[in-house]
Amino acid sequence: MDEPLSLADRLRESIEEDIATGKLPPGAPLDEAELTQRFGVSRTPVREAMVQLAAAGMVDIRHRRGATVAQLSPQRLIEMFEVMAEFEAMCGRYAARRMQADQLAALEAAHLACETARNAGDADTYYHLNENFHHQIYAGSHNGFLCEQATTLHRRLRPYRRLQLRVKGRLQASFGEHQAIVDAIKAGDGERAAQALRGHVMVQGERFADLMAALSQLRTATEQA
């Protein structure tokens, strides 16, 4: 039972990447038979991946029409990152007040794991470890509803957050921002933690332009491949 689910997760990430880079543009059909042939798998993990993507809002599934890539404009992306930044700020504020000793230790361990990936310059591994870092903060807020909402939106923005880390210099900057977040939470300074997380997540100005440029570059590379 575990293997098909693990395969579905890998398929989901591959399709997410194609959506984020524009290889699968908004409105593009996602043909089940084509995907099974492309990835060399049965229909079951493909269907599971489609369900996960639909739950994350990245794919629209309509009865008798099949699945298509959901429409997401740059303005919508900015709006979603704005909300994500506020969710994370709230999680950080509560975590600074409520995190227990074992949770703080887990957060620091997640931070150190990110350092190893940063030193190796491995953006994809860093991204997965970065997810764990943020989820430790969500759980540390001890607010179940907020944790659920933050996790759901995090999943929706997953491919874009991953691609941000491929922008030159972003890996190093991200780790430095993590350090400020950990320091604030350990100090019990909720407002400083909230401010650090908001700045860490918010994508605007040059950072948004960099993300759009990275998407464009990856789209060009994909088209030329």
% of the chain beyond a pLDDT of 70: 92
Domain ends where: 54, 69, 84?
69
Same domain (yes/no): 203, 114: yes
Range with the largest mean pLDDT of 21-25, 162-166, 191-195 = 191-195
Q: Which of 13, 40, 69 is the last residue of a domain?
A: 69
Best CA proximity match to 91, nearest among 199, 26, 185: 185
Q: Are residues 102 and 164 in the same domain?
A: yes
Residue 219: per-residue pLDDT: 58
Query: C-alpha distances in angstroms, 165 versus 158, 160, 169, 173?
Result: 11, 9, 8, 9
Answer yes or no: do 81 and 59 share one domain.
Answer: no
User: Residue 22: which pLDDT band, with cuts at 50, 70 and 90?
Assistant: low
Which is higher by pLDDT, 70 or 90? Answer: 90
Res. 146 pLDDT band, cuts 50 70 90:
very high
Q: Which pLDDT tens digit goes with each residue over 75-90?
A: 888 899 999 999 999 9
pLDDT at 225 over 60: no
Over range 148-161, report the average pLDDT.
88
One domain, residues 25 and 105: no
Judgement on whether residues 184 and 115 belong to the same structural domain of the protein: yes
For the chain, the domain total comes to 2
The long-range contacts involving 52-57, CB below 8 angstroms and separated by at least 24 positions, are: 52/8, 52/9, 52/12, 53/12, 53/15, 53/16, 55/155, 56/152, 56/155, 56/156, 56/158, 57/156
Containing structural domain, residue 182: 74-224
Report the CATH number at residue 78: 1.20.120.530
| HSE toward the beta carbon, residue 154, CA cutoff 13 A | 21
Same domain for 39 and 109, yes or no, is no
More confident residue, 216 or 136: 136
Taking all residues of the chain, what is their mean pLDDT, rounded to a whole number?
88
Burial class (CB in 10 A: 0-12, 13-18, 19+), 16: buried
Residue 180 pLDDT greater than 50, yes or no: yes
